Amino acid sequence: MARERLWRGLTALYVALRAGEEVVDVGCGTGSLAVLPGRVEPSARIVGVDPAPEVLAIARRKAAAAGVEADGRVGRGDEPGEPVGAGTADTVVSGLVPHQCALPVKRAVLASIVAVSRPRPVSCVTPSRDDLKVPPAVRPRGISTAQGW
């Protein structure tokens, strides 16, 4: 748990949101990562995308308890453009999704992250050393990886 808190906190600082910007958390789960950028920049728009409505309900409660306004949308990591919209996000983060996927799905997730992003560097946080085995040539342009430890 300590490692997860570390990389999530570092992610919230790393993305350096500005007032009014939108951050999308692909595979937000219960919202532990999604709420942090909203705490750093309260006027940021937070969108969590996850395929499980019951998990999004937990994320919404967690955001409300943290005083963060967040919008939870049902969708998959390899197709977040459907619930979010192409080219609409200032920053996209994804914590555990790349770690849990086979290489073809990782590629689709990374391509989708680029598709929903505005032309600004994108952050894709990968908390596992195994995720760094995805060769740079496979990663779309604009994706930066960080481990947090």
pTM of the model: 0.78
- Model confidence over 70-85: pLDDT tens digits? 888 888 777 756 778 8
Rounded to an integer, the average pLDDT of 40-46 is 88
DSSP string, 88-111: -BSEEE-SSHHHHS-HHHHHHHHH
C-alpha dihedral sign at 134, 132, 56, 34: negative
